[in-house]
Amino acid sequence: QIEFIQAMSLAGTKEKPEPQLTEKERKRLTIEETQKSLPVYKFKNELVQAIKDHQVLIIEGETGSGKTTQIPQYLYQAGFTDDGKKIGCTQPRRVAAMSVAARVAEEMSVKLGNEVGYSIRFEDCTSERTIIKYMTDGTLHREFLSEPDLQTYSVMIIDEAHERTLHTDILFGLVKDIARFRSDLKLLISSATLDAEKFSAFFDDAPIFRIPGRRFPVDIYYTKAPEADYIDACVVSILQIHATQPLGDILVFLTGQEEIETCQEILQDRVRRLGSRIKELLILPVYSNLPSDMQAKIFQPTPPNARKVVLATNIAETSLTIDNIIYVIDPGFCKQNNFNSRTGMESLIVVPVSKASANQRAGRAGRVAAGKCFRLFTAWAYKHELEDNTVPEIQRMNLGNVVLTLKALGINDLINFDFLDPPPHETLVLALEQLYALGALNHHGELTKLGRRMAEFPLDPMMGKMLLASEKYKCSEEIVTIAAMLSVNGAIFYRPKDKVVHADTARKNFFLPGGDHLVLWNVYKQWSDTDFSTQWCYENYIQYRSMKRARDVREQLVGLMQRVEMDIISNPTDSIAIRKTITAGYFYHIARLSKGGHYKTVKHNQTVMIHPNSCLFEDLPRWVVYHELVFTTKEFMRQVAEIESKWLLEVAPHYYKPRELEDSTNTKMPKVLGKTRAQLGEH
């Protein structure tokens, strides 16, 4: 039992609940009727007129009012695509782009990928016929490289602008510039709440079109005391609601796939044990790597006499609207990219959400009737520990990738780029320095030939560099596999709780000396030797979906490699060549063994450890290159390979000096000599 205290309510604009429909009635509700019930519908003509009258329009409306799904359709109906140009709409998240496109295709009775499509990194589901195109903001950013004036678009909607993702922030500057010389391009900036004035000011006082919200009051409850284990607290709260509260679906906010899966397992287990003592509880996860058939499930109506509980990442905060949510459970955390501009280190960490986020989350409970939000933290914590707003990504992320694309777009003066909120100066400088060290920029800050080729790949500059370096070491076939496997940000190895031992044995069978990158390559190679068998994955505790995705990514990368005229050469037996290539891209990510099994990063002397899942966890090589850092209980290096320090002088001579790479354990002076190294002529 968790004790909750009610402390305040979010005011609603409506008091009386809309009549709850019976299942039969709901089924009869046609798509058309659903469309007409959305708040934006009443403003259809007015909105279309405003768009005709103004080149740039800021649209503000509560989440779920129909902005994303309806406005492109209104514009299509109003003839905005008659000249053969498309309507584009950006989304900060992949799942949202896919799911919304699927929904709109359904509403328009067309096949997804034909008139309505989506484009996300490594996946283009559009065709010549596509007139409404949803895409991630990152994808549009990259589209500028091939179409700098967005010539094939008549309207561009920068949607979910309030999320302030890095790419969305950059897009603001880019589209604002384009609108100046393409007077026929309509620009819509659409946002859930808040920042409308700020956007308006940025876009030369563009008018704001407000879609009046519609929300029922939401009662907010806090826990009496802080909860130590919030996953467990979630499970308890879900069951508590299920047992004591009237029917109505529950939305739970967790931080990521792993957490969602853990919560799902525990919950399923408890539900199973309760058996028929409770009503049916449907447990549905949603996170960014969830396959699309599973995504569709969260939108299916809940059967009568049952309750749906959706376990979501903050994707459900504003990007996706799930109807009929009455209860929200909010532990108050999210996963955030963090970047230390002093050390240049990036990591993904779980942090408390902002007050604005917490209130968005709570608001999700009040769409169809008065709702309740259970916060798994105290009222005191809300008041004193949460920031008011989330810091925009541009102020807390590595800008390497963005700077590379902007340079490739010919934007050289980044300091004076038109930013809505500028990034910290040192972050910008660091990105320039990193690109210089990678060889992508020359000392005038201009793009080099290598940099131009790197910009062709939708990859982080380090990975792009690694891929291109594989040419020199003649192992591009292996490296592209490794790059694809690293890009799949879902788990490769399957580790069910009841088969941990078998799963771990299976995983260890893939181990190769040298490190995790080679293990990843090995898994892919063996899988491809079975002609991509599903059965093989099953038998070896490998996640088939992740592998399929790796194969798609790999295919795309191979295509791009051919475009920049790289040869695909295989050299599977030369582990050194492969690891040198990895180091050529990731020489920023080097750590050396220090005392007690800890590692220290070379440039900044930060303490890090090898992740327990690594094949090197028990070996502890002297020098390692790592793919990424994750912070859980400690700072862990994930995907680690053993290297030799002298390789660094070969792959990054301008970045490492021999002195930094001296091995303290080997260079200890014998005391008897009593001379310094310098006296001995050593360097």
Residues binding ligand ADP (CB under 6 A): 38, 61, 63-70, 99-100, 102-103, 299, 321, 323
321 interacts with, out of ligand ADP, Mg ion, none, CB within 5 to 8 A per kind: ligand ADP
Residue whose CB is less far from ligand ADP, 14 or 603 = 14
Q: What does the DSSP assignment read for 437-453?
A: HTTSB-TTS-B-HHHHH
The nearer residue to Mg ion, 35 or 262, going by C-beta atoms, is: 35
**Contact (Cβ atoms closer than 8 angstroms) between residue 279 and residue 228:** no
- Closest CB 106 distance from ligand ADP, rounded Å: 7
Residue 319 CB, nearest approach to Mg ion (Å): 6
Q: Which two tokens stand for residue 477?
A: 């076939």
- Of 66 and 458, CB closest to ligand ADP: 66
**Residue with the two structure tokens 């008011």:** 388
User: What is the DSSP annotation of 472-535?
Assistant: TTT-HHHHHHHHHHHH--S-SB---GGGHHHHHHHHHTT--TTBHHHHHHHHHHHHHHTTS-HH
* Nearest distance from C-beta of residue 429 to ligand ADP, angstroms: 37
Rounded alpha-carbon distances, angstroms, from residue 439 to 143, 578, 624: 24, 19, 22
Query: What DSSP designation does 113 have?
Result: T
User: Is 264:283 a contact under the CB 8 Å cutoff?
Assistant: yes
| 38 interacts with, out of ligand ADP, Mg ion, none, CB within 5 to 8 A per kind | ligand ADP
Partner from Mg ion, ligand ADP, none contacting 248, C-beta within 5 to 8 A by type: none
Q: Which is nearer to ligand ADP, 193 or 395 (CB)?
A: 193
> Encoding tokens for residue 96?
């949202």
Do residues 660 and 648 touch, judged by C-beta distance below 8 A?
no
Partner in contact with 99, chosen from Mg ion, ligand ADP, none, beta carbon below 5 to 8 Å by kind: ligand ADP
Q: Which two tokens stand for residue 495?
A: 């580790």
Q: With contact defined as beta carbons under 8 Å apart, do 454 and 585 qualify?
A: no
Nearer to ligand ADP by C-beta: 70 or 470? 70
Residues 395-424 as b/e (b if ≥16 CB within 10 A, e otherwise) read bbbbbbbbbbbbbbbebeebeebebbebbe
Binding partner at 323 among Mg ion, ligand ADP, none, C-beta below 5 to 8 Å by kind? ligand ADP
Least gap, CB of 290 to ligand ADP (angstroms): 13
Which does residue 86 touch among ligand ADP, Mg ion, none (CB within 5 to 8 A, set by kind)? Answer: none
Nearer Cβ to ligand ADP (110/558): 110
Cα of first residue to Cα of last residue in the chain, in angstroms, is 66
Alpha helices in 569-671 (DSSP H): 575-586, 645-651
The CA distance from 30 to 32, in Å, is 5
The amino acid occupying position 26 is R
Find out whether 219 and 322 touch, Cβ atoms under 8 Å.
no
126 binds, among Mg ion, ligand ADP, none (CB under 5 to 8 A by kind): none
CB of 37 to ligand ADP, least distance (A): 8
Please, which residue, 70 or 168, has the CB nearer to ligand ADP? 70
Per partner kind, with CB cut-offs from 5 to 8 A, the member of ligand ADP, Mg ion, none near residue 64 is ligand ADP
Q: What does 357 bind: Mg ion, ligand ADP, none (CB cut-off 5 to 8 Å by kind)?
A: none
- Taken in order 222, 228, 230, 233, the sign of the CA dihedral is negative
Contact 654, 635 (CB under 8 A): no
In whole angstroms, how close is the CB of 70 to ligand ADP at the nearest point?
Answer: 6
Question: 68 or 401: whose CB is closer to Mg ion?
Answer: 68
Q: Which helix (H) or strand (E) holds 352?
A: strand 345-352
Residue range at the interface with Mg ion (CB under 5 A); choices 68-76, 144-152, 546-554, 557-565: 68-76
Q: What is the total residue count of the chain?
A: 683
Q: Which does 61 bind (CB under 5 to 8 A by kind): Mg ion, ligand ADP, none?
A: ligand ADP
User: Minimum Å distance from CB 482 to Mg ion?
Assistant: 36
CB 110 → ligand ADP: shortest distance, Å?
15
Compute the least distance from the CB of residue 159 to Mg ion, in Å. 6
**Helix count and strand count (H, E) for the chain:** 24, 22
Select 68 or 295, whichever has its Cβ closest to Mg ion: 68
Residues in the interface with Mg ion (CB under 5 A) total 1
- Of 139 and 318, the one with the shorter C-beta distance to ligand ADP is 318
Q: Cβ 201 to ligand ADP, closest distance in Å?
A: 23
Residue closer to ligand ADP, measured from CB, 191 or 546? 191
Please enumerate in sequence order all residues whose Cβ is within 8 A of that of 69, keeping only pairs 6 or more positions apart, or say none: 100, 103, 104, 107
Residue 156 CB, shortest distance to Mg ion, in Å, is: 15
Binding-site member from 68, 295, 378, 601 for Mg ion (CB under 5 A): 68
At closest approach, how far in Å is the CB of 323 from ligand ADP? 5
Torsion of CA 578, 584, 589, 594, to 10 degrees: 70
CB nearer to Mg ion: pick between 40 and 523:
40
**Cβ-closest position to Mg ion:** 68
- Under 8 Å between Cβ of 23 and 303: yes
Sign (positive or negative) of CA dihedral 440, 488, 150, 169: negative
Give the whole-angstrom CA distance, residue 217 versus residue 203.
Answer: 34
Choose the one of ligand ADP, Mg ion, none that binds residue 100, judging by a C-beta under 5 to 8 angstroms depending on kind: ligand ADP
Closer Cβ to ligand ADP, 29 or 350, answer by number: 29
Element (H, E) at 178: helix 166-181
Q: Which is nearer to Mg ion, 69 or 378 (CB)?
A: 69
Instruction: Select from 64-72, 336-344, 610-618, 639-647 the region that touches Mg ion (CB under 5 A).
Output: 64-72
Contact range with Mg ion by CB under 5 A, out of 9-17, 65-73, 398-406, 559-567: 65-73
Shortest Å, Cβ 190 to Mg ion? 7
* Angstrom distance (rounded) from CA 540 to CA 432: 43
Nearest approach in angstroms of CB 39 to ligand ADP is: 8
Pick the piece of the chain touching Mg ion (CB under 5 A) from 37-45, 61-69, 335-343, 409-417.
61-69
Q: Please say whether the dihedral angle defined by the alpha carbons of residues 120, 122, 125 and 126, taken in this order, is positive or negative.
A: positive
- What is the contact surface with Mg ion in residues (CB under 5 A)? 68
